[in-house]
Amino acid sequence: MLHEYAQFLVDLIAGWGYIGIFIMMAIESSFIPFPSEIVLIPAGYLASQGEMSFLMILFAALAGSLVGALVNYFLAFTLGRTFLLKYGKYFFIKENTLLKMEQFFEKHGHISTFSGRLIPGVRQLISIPAGLGRMSLRDFIFYSAIGAGIWAFILIILGYTLGENQELLNQYLKQITISVITLLVVLAMLYYRLKRKDK
């Protein structure tokens, strides 16, 4: 079953192509929790088979990541802290998480925009304190691009390398499967919560 799921992911990425990678990475880098492993590891495997270009995958992933990060940055920049504290919970941004992100940003400065992109659970939200702190757009794009580029490169290399070792690929895809299930549970809970509020 795991092998069939791995093949499903590979076929999905192959069908959507570079535009699909761009869109899914933009989603992953915004406030919607979406594991980038699901996208880039199968894409790396396809690159190892000569079906996709390694550089084009990296470019699409980087461009998508920057778009998603800029969405968070401009939302925080324009709407401000008060709005995010009040309504952030509807976009998976809890008050406690926001406070931690702000403390992380204040402690490490602009470089946190780079380092935060490499930390799971942090990389999607690190753009928010950058926007709240009114970090210059040029610096934000620079640090975000470096961090997002490194993270994407690592995942693509994993897919490229593990793609030739089916046993290791299957082992790693177990973690991806768990991530997918978690994502579906979160989305189901959000849908149920919104439906209850409408009644």
Give CA 1 to chain center in angstroms: 26
Give CA 18 to chain center in angstroms: 16
How high does pLDDT run on average in the chain? 75
User: What residue segments make up the domains of the chain, in order of their start?
Assistant: 2-198
Task: From residue 65, give the alpha-carbon distance in Å to each of 82, 99, 178.
Answer: 26, 23, 22
Unique residue bearing structure tokens 């490169």? 153
> What was the pLDDT predicted at 62?
95
Q: What is the pTM of this model?
A: 0.71
> What was the pLDDT predicted at 142?
92
> What was the pLDDT predicted at 15?
79
pLDDT in tens, 97-147: 677 777 777 776 677 787 777 776 677 778 888 888 788 899 899 989 988
Unique residue bearing structure tokens 């926007």? 131
> What was the pLDDT predicted at 1?
44
Q: Are 194 and 26 spatial neighbours (Cβ–Cβ below 8 Å)?
A: no
- Alpha-carbon dihedral sign for residues 34, 40, 42, 46: positive
Q: Are 152 and 62 spatial neighbours (Cβ–Cβ below 8 Å)?
A: yes
**Mean pLDDT, residues 153-165 taken together:** 79
Q: Are 57 and 43 spatial neighbours (Cβ–Cβ below 8 Å)?
A: yes
